[in-house]
Amino acid sequence: MAVLTVRNVPDEVHRALRVRAAQHGRSTEAEIREILASVVKPQQRLRLGDALSNLGRSAGLSNEDFSIFEQVHDRTPAEPMGFE
């Protein structure tokens, strides 16, 4: 695990961190780790399909815009790769 040093933390911030840690029954260091993790880690895993869907919606695309792919899609089954 990485070690992080934070310098020049104002006294009132340090006091507030100690109070918050005590309220949660943790050390100040554990409380800081929890705060950092809750701020920088996503609540849930980013899913590629959801991200692409949101991107399409934000660009104003609809299902009709993709109908052209159905018309030109080659339905021939793919051949397995040969390694000879």
Kindly report the CA angle at 6 between 11 and 31, in degrees rounded to 5? 75
pLDDT in tens, 41-83: 877 787 898 888 888 889 888 878 777 777 777 778 888 888 8
Nearest to 53 by CA among 44, 66, 42: 66
**CATH code, 10-74:** 1.10.1220.10
Specify the pTM. Answer: 0.52
**What's the CA gap between 24 and 48, in Å, rounded?**
35
Cβ contact 39:33 at 8 Å: no
